[in-house]
Amino acid sequence: MLFFLLAGDIIVLAAHIFLREKLGFFDLDVEGNLASLYSGAKLWFVATLAVVNALILWHAKTARRSAVPWFLFAAGVAYIGLDDMMGVHERIGFVLNNLLGTGGFYGESFNWLLYFAPFMIAAVIVFTLLFRTLWRGHRRAAWWFGAGVLLWIGSIGVEFLGRDMILAATVNVSRYHLLIIMEETLELLGATAFALTLAHTLKKTIREHVEIKKT
């Protein structure tokens, strides 16, 4: 799984570097591109595994408390996957800009970073709960999960840097384009790390809580 996911990540990034000028579908800085489709599909796969894992834990009764964070994680990842494919955060951001009168300037599309800050804080809480659970019971999955969280935090950090750069008096275009590649790389690799997390976690959950009856 790791090989195929990383191969997909590399193909998406290589397509941006070598083919974006020929076809905008490969450009990481446009809506509805190859990266958004691939990332969205990957995150929906992760969300599906998380739901299956949560359902098994929920029906195990003794592990129901552990199921709730996985349900929340699945919902959040599913939304991010949808967002990647449809650019929901930017559309909501523009609506809020109009309602709050905070738009009307170059770079207003980055305002979503402020609007979605409460959800980012909630995500950190859920991530912390899941990491603690995994660390106690499945160290390999915990390492993959921690890597995914750090990669996504790095992606958000690069987004903030891009905002500051695009709002500067003089924009270093080549450096800004490099930041775009860095941001998408971190996001893609983070999703890959989460996919590996769920693969290991679900395998352990099935082994501990699913009883296969022999006929």
Q: What is residue 102's predicted lDDT score, i.e. its pLDDT?
A: 78
Q: How far is the CA of 142 from the CAs of 3, 14, 75, 121, in angstroms?
A: 20, 30, 20, 20
Q: What is residue 215's predicted lDDT score, i.e. its pLDDT?
A: 55
Q: CA 154 to CA 144: how far, in whole Å?
A: 15
Q: What is residue 22's predicted lDDT score, i.e. its pLDDT?
A: 86
Number of CB atoms found within 10 A of residue 6's CB: 13
Q: CA 116 to CA 158: how far, in whole Å?
A: 16
Q: What is residue 106's predicted lDDT score, i.e. its pLDDT?
A: 66
- Band of residue 212 on the pLDDT scale cut at 50, 70, 90: low
3-class SS string, 100-149? HCCCCCCCHHHHHHHHCHHHHHHHHHHHHHHHHHHHHHCHHHHHHHHHHH
DSSP letter string over 6-33? HHHHHHHHHHHHHHTTT-GGG-TTSTT-
Return the structure tokens found at 106: 């170059």
Q: What's the average model confidence in pLDDT over 102-107?
A: 71
Q: What's the average model confidence in pLDDT over 53-79?
A: 91
Instruction: Give 168 or 135, the one with higher predicted confidence.
Output: 135
Number of CB atoms found within 10 A of residue 38's CB: 20
Q: What is residue 122's predicted lDDT score, i.e. its pLDDT?
A: 93
- Band of residue 20 on the pLDDT scale cut at 50, 70, 90: confident
Phi and psi at residue 131, to the nearest 5° = -65, -40
Return the structure tokens found at 197: 């997390």
Instruction: Give 192 or 63, the one with higher predicted confidence.
Output: 192
Q: What is residue 175's predicted lDDT score, i.e. its pLDDT?
A: 85
Return the structure tokens found at 196: 């590996």
Q: Whole-number mean pLDDT of the chain?
A: 88
The answer to which of 15-24, 42-51, 124-133 has the lowest mean pLDDT is: 15-24
The answer to which of 46-60, 75-89, 188-202 has the lowest mean pLDDT is: 75-89
Is the pLDDT at 68 greater than 90? The verdict is yes
Cβ contact 27:19 at 8 Å: no
Q: What's the average model confidence in pLDDT over 32-37?
A: 87
Question: Which of 209, 213, 186, 178 has the alpha carbon at shortest distance from 53?
Answer: 209
Q: What's the average model confidence in pLDDT over 102-110?
A: 72
- Rounded to 5°, angle at Cα 71 from 67 and 72: 120
Q: CA 127 to CA 69: how far, in whole Å?
A: 8
- Band of residue 41 on the pLDDT scale cut at 50, 70, 90: very high
Q: What is residue 137's predicted lDDT score, i.e. its pLDDT?
A: 87
